[in-house]
Amino acid sequence: MKWRAVGWVWAGLILCFSAEAGLAGEKPIWLTVTKPIFLKSLQPLVEHRKAEGFETLVSTQSVEDALRSCPRRPAYLLLIGDDEPNQQNEPWYLPAMNVKQTRWSASQNPAYASDAAYSDGNRDRFPDFPVGRLPVRTAGQLQTVVRKILAYEMRSTRLSDAEVLIWAGQSLYGEMFDRFSAQLLWQMVCRGMPSWASAFVVSSNRGALYCPPLDQKEILRRQLQANPGLICLVGHGNAQQFCVGEWMFSPSKKGVIFCSAEFFLEGRVEKEPLSPMVILTCLSGFFAGEELSFAESLVLSPVGPVACIAASAESHPLPNLYTGQAMLQTLRHTCRLGDAWLRTLHVAKTLRNPMMETVLKFVESSMSQAVDIDAIRTDQATLYELLGDPATTLRIPRTLACDMQANADGSWNWTVTKPSDAETLFVTFKPIAAAVRQPKDWNDTAVVQQAFMQANQRLRFQTLAQLPANESWGGKITQPGVLRFVAIGPKQIYAATKTLTPTSKSPR
């Protein structure tokens, strides 16, 4: 490939490369590989990316030939078309690569479909640049998805863009492991969530964030109405469903509750598309088949997520754990979806937890031989599919300048510097709360619900004031806690947080 022969050093550069950063005098390349039937429907998205400053290249060659013809390494690669065995003569056919999978279960397939493998120029089993796919089969489907991408990227920013919604299914590895998973999730969210993010978490594992599975859908439906900036699902699943968890429907009837893609689409007729969704489950992104997968159904809907990141095969819980931890870390940097995902994979490669590796190594295994954890971790980088345009903008806040002054009476005065394009400042606050106590009786519905809401109050910011640009952005606060400022402009969001402690009287 031409871009391999250039000899660039990319190991560190790929972590900071984006549409705004490239070699001097060169525009970043947005390369699209598609089929002739999609060229007309694609054009509005091409013009949009061109207006953003990309060099837009559209090819109807094979993916390999398009990359060989590319004058330099692309910033993003978007594939438009679908894959299905024995459908090579269809006008929409655009195959993925087949990658051998490290198996830990005798029922697994020996290989999985991967688009990320196309960007593995040095064959180290790790993508060199972000790759995405719009799994469409008709020009009408592509028109729908393109309209959705443009609507998402051109809509105004708002406070809910600084929110993250996490839905964690039950581990189903036994009561002890369920409790351990609940504690781990709580620690990950409290310690790993970016300071600017207001989080809402629903979990089926009994712990601080536990909500009975039968109550979850109504609670989540209300959260989805606000359309948070990022939606994350983690747990078990299959190609068409997300597993919520087990439930005792009656003294003699116990079953597993599932959720299909329709749940996220119900009641969203003529509404805006949902924000990007990351789905850390098995097979939810299995696009190379006859039936629509969970993630495909969401992406192809005009009101579903603008993009989904999901596994095209069985995914192991250990690398999924590392990926979830890494993802929270990468949300600290303004970037596009493909860059955020690639950075997540890079960070996940560096994470190690010997205790968790010991616990999770055999939890899914049905093989007689030892499970190769390093190989399973390696598979993770090409196992997940980005269904959407990898150049999709994430509304991660830029840094907002603010100043805090401690007063002798224990209060603080604050001032915020207005960005030139900001129209509104939201002053939000989380008090320093007492330790979260888990219910003694998990069958007491009122007590469980109260504990769940109290835990989420620890993670959510409440709005104290909303100030327009023509007013002074300053004020005073007397209560210790976490003070967050979010400035909203037409196309950009800014944020800053300060932790106020009663002992030091000085903000951190």
Whether residue 443 is predicted with pLDDT greater than 90 in this model: the reply is no
Query: pLDDT tens digits for 293-306?
Result: 999 999 999 999 99
- For residue 16, name the pLDDT band (cuts at 50, 70, 90): very low
- pLDDT (average), residues 4-13: 32
Whether residue 109 is predicted with pLDDT greater than 80 in this model: the reply is yes
DSSP-based three-state secondary structure for 214: helix
Q: Between residues 503 and 485, which one has the greater pLDDT? A: 485
> pLDDT value at position 347?
95
pTM > 0.75: yes or no: yes
- Residue 102 main-chain phi, psi, to 5 deg: -75, 120
> pLDDT value at position 365?
66
**How many Å apart are CA 293 and CA 394, to the nearest integer?**
24
Beta-carbon contacts of residue 42 (< 8 Å; ≥ 6 apart): 32, 34, 58, 80, 142, 146
> pLDDT value at position 11?
32
Pinpoint the alpha helices (H) of 352-444.
Answer: 354-360, 373-383
- Give the domains, in start order, of the chain with CATH numbers: 2-132 (3.40.50.10390), 139-387 (3.40.50.1460), 398-500 (2.60.40.10)
- For residue 363, name the pLDDT band (cuts at 50, 70, 90): confident
Query: pLDDT tens digits for 50-70?
Result: 999 999 999 999 999 999 999
Beta-carbon contacts of residue 490 (< 8 Å; ≥ 6 apart): 156, 157, 421, 423
- pLDDT (average), residues 113-120: 97
Whether residue 154 is predicted with pLDDT greater than 70 in this model: the reply is yes
- pLDDT (average), residues 384-395: 97
Whether residue 240 is predicted with pLDDT greater than 80 in this model: the reply is yes
Whether residue 488 is predicted with pLDDT greater than 70 in this model: the reply is yes
The 3 state secondary structure assigned to 2-61 is: HHHHCCCCCCCHHHCCECCECCCCCCCEEEEECCHHHHHHHHHHHHHHHHCCCEEEEECC
CA distances from 381 to 278, 350, 431 (A): 14, 13, 39
Stretch among 80-84, 370-374, 462-466 having the lowest mean pLDDT: 370-374
- pLDDT (average), residues 260-277: 90
